[in-house]
Structure 1
Amino acid sequence: MSQHAVLDPATHRDLRVRMEPGADLGDQVMSCIAVPNEFRQVQADFPILFHKNQETGAFNAVALFGFENGENLFLENGKWNAGYRPLALSIQPFLIGRSRDEDGVAQVHIDMEHVRIDDAEGVRVFDESGQATPYLEDVAEKLGRLDAGYRASEGFFAALKRWDLLEPFTLEVTLNDGAKRSLVGFHILNEDRIRGLDGAALGELHAAGYLMPIFMALASLSHITDLVARKNAREAHA
């Protein structure tokens, strides 16, 4: 159960957080949220898929780590086996908080019940004088990027919807041992529709800064083959 609190040096002077990857530290997940302003980094390692909320119809993007719930093929023996760690994972247990006024000043919040909080083994958040440590400064920068990405996502997904650029995606994988794994409930970008956009549409997407994340998401799909190879290797050593 979460227990969010505004981070401040008086209350949290001695707070420590474990930074290393770990299955028991919240990293044993099939996917995590990715925002368009990090697609360039995400696509270097992970497939970028899109998930639709069936109640609201809203979309979000995810970096895919595995083929089933609780599977992360990039987490091996306590090591993160990829060049990039998506923002939504790397900022845990911190988050951005605001007042009821969405345009209010952003604050750094922390989930005091998160498993990464460990006063014995963790890295300090504040130094002895109550100043932010380099670790906290790095987290704050990442929180800012993630918050900016969330805010920009609404326009990005509205553009994808306007030009009907998303399509349902189902994948069935046959592993080397004959076992089958299915990936359902996701969407991907329709490359043919993107190719068919006229100059006006492409110009609008470019002016809004959306063409780059679109191309990055398309390029990321080549990593599905890599993910299958990781799955086969994992099963072979199971």
Structure 2
Amino acid sequence: MANSHIQALNPSTHKDLKLNVDPLFTYTKTIQFTPLHVNEFAPASTCYPIYFIKDRATGKLFSVALFGLEEKENLFYSDTQWRASYVSESMQCWPFTMAKTSDNQWSPHIDTSSPLLSNDQGQLLYKSGRPSETLNTTLQRLQQSYQQKLQSMAFVEWLLELKLLKPVRLGMKYLSGEKSIINGMYSIDASALQQLPPDALSLGHKHGYLAPIYALLASHYNLYDLIRLKKTFSKRPISSLQLIESE
């Protein structure tokens, strides 16, 4: 994570930091998607379209909940309430995250540029050099999130091994008549899934992979909600949205 604001948590460096709560998740105002773990597919699929995208730094695929149809667009954010019933683990943990240290080990990190942090008000992260109750709760959540991240990585590797992922594009038509296409996303290849041999399906069932696959496929119906939200709250409303399967 090449960002000088992302620092490994340290009781010496961060002893005076205090954490505030933001129920509106304001930091996501211009974020088009949020990372999603495989265990979150079921609840997230009731609100958001779920896809895979490539990490620009590593080239590896990871799953996301789609918030908007344009770069820096979040149709679920408002200055009064979050417009969805489910909030992802990564959003609930922020400004804390798991990241690699210089010796390539995963550890808790913090985004020191976050407006949720200050030296003046909020809950102290450390008390007498020890993690406060607030921080301990977050650290436990981060550890669970890290384990879920490993499970998600294994899930993606299984999908790739069986060639179950395919690139997709979303074609938009604006009310103004303008057209555009969203590229760079991947989804489950339903045809390839149907052709899986019984032993592969059995293994997928054993690992608990089939349920999230079906949840992901069902989540694409939430594109209709994105159309509605864009018509209602965007300055650039669209008239239609088409899923284009890439060759």
Q: Could you say which residue in structure 2 is the equivalent of 1:163?
A: 162
> What is the TM-score when the length of structure 2 is the normalising length?
0.80
How much does 1:108 deviate? 2.7
- CA 1:172–1:123 in 2, change beyond 3 Å: closer, same or farther? farther
CA distance in 2 between counterparts of 1:153 and 1:196 reads 23
Counterpart of 1:77, as a letter, is D
Distance 1:36 1:131 in 2: 29
* Deviations 1:19-77, CA, capped at 9 Å, x for gaps: 21354x35420012112122222212111111135785521111100011111000011
Equivalent of 2:37 in 35, 38, 45: 35
Q: 8 Å contact 2:49–2:223 — kept in the other structure?
A: yes
Map 1:137-148 → 2, pairs under 5 A = 137-148=136-147
Question: SS in structure 2 opposite 1:28?
Answer: coil
Shifted more, 226-235 versus 169-178: the winner is: 169-178
**Structure 2 residue aligned with 1:214:** 213
Please list, as runs of the form range in 1=range in 2, the aligned pairs for 1:53-68 lying within 5 A after superposition: 53=55, 57-68=59-70
Q: TM-score when scaled to structure 1?
A: 0.83
Q: How does 1:78-89 map to 2 (within 5 A)?
A: 78-89=80-91
Moved more, 111-120 or 37-46: 111-120
For residue 179 of structure 1, report the CA deviation from its aligned partner: 4.4
Number of aligned residues: 234
Structure 1 position 78, deviation (Å): 5.0
Q: Deviations over 1:181-212 (max 9, x none)?
A: 42211111111221222321110111122112
Bigger share in strand: 2
Q: Give CA-to-partner distance per residue, 1:87-143, whole Å, 9 cap, x none.
A: 2222122122566676x6x64332323333133454443468955234x34422331
Aligned residue for 2:35, secondary structure, equals strand
Aligned pairs for 1:1-238 within 5 A: 1-9=3-11, 11-20=13-22, 21-23=24-26, 25-53=27-55, 57-97=59-99, 107-126=107-126, 132-134=132-134, 136-235=135-234
For 1:2 and 1:231, the matched residues in 2 are separated by: 34
- What's the CA shift for 1:18? 3.1
For 2:61 and 2:12, locate their aligned partners in 1 and report how far apart those are by CA, in whole Å.
39
Query: 2: CA distance between counterparts of 1:142 and 1:44?
Result: 23
Question: Are the equivalent residues in 2 in contact too, given 1:93–1:110 (CA < 8 A)?
Answer: yes
Q: Which runs of 5+ in 2 are unaligned?
A: 238-247
In 2: Cα distance, 1:130 partner to 1:193 partner: 52
CA contact (8 A) 1:17 1:125 kept: yes
Unpaired runs of at least 5, structure 1 = none
Q: Distance in 1 between matches of 2:56 and 2:100?
A: 27
